[in-house]
Every structure is written in C-alpha cells, then in structure tokens.
C-alpha cells in the first residue's frame, strides 16, 4: 500500500536541499490513505481478493471528475477549468454517414500553461470557442459531495498538483487519472489526453460514433494511453500516488541513467557526483 506520508516527507526534504524553496503538504498529511474499510470489515466480506481501496485524496479527485463530466454533459455544455491542470470542452460537428446525418461530440483538453512550462511539454490543443461559457471547478460543489470542508478540498487539490509538478520537474512520466472521464498521460515531453469509452458513449449515445472517434484517432482511448511506453519503465499515477511499472521505450546506458539522475538532482537544488570518486 502506498505510504503517502513517507512520499511527502521525502519530497519536503528534497525541496529543502536548495536552501531557499520549500514544498510542504500540510493537508495531504492530514488526509488518510488507508482503506475505507477496516480489516474486520474486509474479513466480514469474505473476499478472496483484496477489496479495492480508495484514499481520501482519490475520493476528492473522483468528485472533481464527476463535476467535469456534469458540465460537459449539460444540454448546453460548458468548458470547465481544473485550475493548474487544464480546461475541458466539447467540439461538435455533423457528418453525413451511410445516408444519415450523425452528430459527433469530441471532448477536448487544453493543457494548463503552468504544466506545459514545467519542461516544455508538447500538446496539440484546441482553444475554447468564445461562445462557450467557461467555469472553474466549484469547490462548494465538490465539498457537498465529500465529507470534507471546502478549504480541505481546495488545499488537497492544490497540494496534489504541487506533488505532480515536482514529479514532472524531475523528468518522470505520469498518468493523471480523472475517474470515469479520462487520463492525462505524459511521456517525456509528449502529452496525451485520453478518454474513457463509457464517457464518450454518454456524450454521443452511439457505439458507432464512439468507434468512429477511435478509428479516426479523433479521440484516444484511456486504455491505449496507459499502455504507452516509458523511458525509465515506470509511471507515477495521480491521484493514487503510486508508481506503475511499464515497458521501456529503449534500454538506457549507465551513462544516460547517470546523466538523467544528475539532471533531476540539479532541478531539486542537490549537488553531487553520481558516478562517485575513484580512489587512487
């Protein structure tokens, strides 16, 4: 099980190494990452496999994802901004297929400048049309959906993103998963916003249209995106704060590994010789 407190402590120590900037996560420290069910409750269920666990942090982000879907599924869809991550909106068009007119609704994601500027991320995005009303995630709505105060919800989201930024700064690959909506997959400097098939079906009400979206590559499946290779063979998953092993894009030499590690240390303000000093 992920020990979030230990992860946070390690990052706080790293951030202090440069002597002038410190990253802290007071709200994440207070939130539990234990299973919702206790050991006794799990035993009562008599399950042969571990029961899925959902952390407090994940439940808050699940509510954020629910809010995003709600805004996009309105009769008059709105563009919804997750501050510090990006903006979702819909692109609609008509197509004449097999003697009938089909309406395509494609979800689009505009990456936040904050994220893009961390390491020059490349993401082909479609700006939000001027006629579409834009809203930001409503912390009061999220607060009403989870047993936490509005302040805790807002701080949890910001601290999760700060952790996310830290991982990106160190050139690591990530998947930021918005439950039942999609996955923001970052590999190197390439960014892919992939969407869940069920969510696309909710938007289009037609399996044919959804299949067409995938076939034409107008939308990427989240299942496909999460299988993307990683240079280091690992992907940091948010908001679960877990590391998932994936196949590498290519084998790295010792020199390349050291160079990447030294670059990561430098970005944290840490100085040192990764190769070590040889004795005479």
Residue 274 has pLDDT above 50, yes or no: no
Domain total in the chain: 1
Give the residue-averaged pLDDT of 153-173.
93
The answer to whether residue 266 is domain-embedded is: no
The answer to whether residue 36 is domain-embedded is: no
pLDDT at 219 (0 to 100): 95
CB contact set of 261 (below 8 Å; sequence gap of 6+): 274
pLDDT at 258 (0 to 100): 52
Here the tokens at position 67 are: 């809010």
The answer to whether residue 169 is domain-embedded is: yes
Cβ contact 33:2 at 8 Å: yes
Q: How confident is the model at residue 111 (pLDDT cuts 50, 70, 90)?
A: very high
The answer to whether residue 110 is domain-embedded is: yes
Residue matched to tokens 């249209």: 209
The answer to whether residue 176 is domain-embedded is: yes
pLDDT at 273 (0 to 100): 40
The answer to whether residue 152 is domain-embedded is: yes
Alpha-carbon gap, residue 247 to 230, rounded angstroms: 6
Here the tokens at position 105 are: 């609704």
Show the beta-strand stretches assigned E in 63-136: 79-82, 86-97, 100-111, 134-136
Residue 260 has pLDDT above 90, yes or no: no
The mean of the pLDDT values for the chain is 80
Residue matched to tokens 């912390």: 139
Alpha-carbon gap, residue 177 to 121, rounded angstroms: 18
pLDDT at 116 (0 to 100): 92
Residue 234 has pLDDT above 80, yes or no: yes
DSSP three-state, residue 184: strand
Neighbours of 31 (CB within 10 A): 20
The 10s digit of each residue's pLDDT in 19-66 is 556 678 889 888 854 433 333 333 333 333 333 344 889 999 999 999
Measured on CA atoms in the order 35, 39, 40, 41, is the torsion positive or negative?
positive
pLDDT at 119 (0 to 100): 85
The answer to whether residue 259 is domain-embedded is: no
Q: Print the domain residue range for 167.
A: 50-238
Q: How confident is the model at residue 164 (pLDDT cuts 50, 70, 90)?
A: very high
Give the predicted TM-score (pTM) of the model: 0.79
The 10s digit of each residue's pLDDT in 114-162 is 999 988 887 777 889 889 999 999 999 898 888 899 999 999 999 999 9
Alpha-carbon gap, residue 109 to 176, rounded angstroms: 13
Give the residue-averaged pLDDT of 186-190.
92
The answer to whether residue 248 is domain-embedded is: no
Q: How confident is the model at residue 94 (pLDDT cuts 50, 70, 90)?
A: confident
Q: How confident is the model at residue 191 (pLDDT cuts 50, 70, 90)?
A: very high
């Amino acid at each position: 099980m992920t020990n979030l407190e230990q992860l946070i402590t390690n990052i706080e120590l790293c951030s202090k190494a440069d002597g002038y900037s410190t990253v802290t996560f007071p709200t994440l420290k207070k939130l539990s990452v234990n299973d919702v069910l206790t050991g006794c409750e799990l035993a009562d269920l008599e399950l042969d496999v571990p029961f899925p666990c959902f952390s407090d942090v994940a439940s808050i982000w699940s509510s954020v994802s629910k809010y995003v879907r709600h805004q996009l599924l309105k009769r008059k869809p709105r563009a919804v901004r997750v501050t510090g991550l990006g903006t979702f909106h819909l692109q609609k068009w008509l197509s004449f297929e097999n003697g009938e007119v089909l309406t395509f609704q494609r979800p689009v994601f505009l990456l936040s400048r904050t994220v893009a500027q961390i390491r020059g991320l490349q993401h082909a995005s479609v700006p939000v049309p001027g006629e579409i009303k834009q809203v930001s995630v409503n912390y009061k709505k999220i607060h009403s959906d989870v047993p936490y105060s509005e302040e805790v919800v807002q701080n949890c989201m910001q601290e999760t993103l700060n952790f996310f930024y830290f991982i990106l700064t160190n050139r690591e690959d990530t998947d930021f998963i918005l439950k039942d909506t999609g996955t923001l997959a970052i590999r190197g400097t390439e960014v892919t916003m992939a969407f869940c098939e069920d969510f696309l079906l909710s938007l289009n009400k037609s399996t044919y249209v959804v299949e067409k979206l995938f076939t034409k590559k107008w939308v990427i499946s989240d299942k496909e995106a999460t299988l993307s290779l990683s240079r280091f063979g690992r992907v940091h998953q948010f908001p679960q704060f877990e590391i998932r092993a994936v196949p590498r894009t290519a084998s790295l030499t010792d020199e390349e590994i050291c160079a990447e590690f030294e670059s990561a240390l430098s970005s944290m303000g840490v100085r040192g010789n990764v190769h070590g000093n040889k004795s005479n």
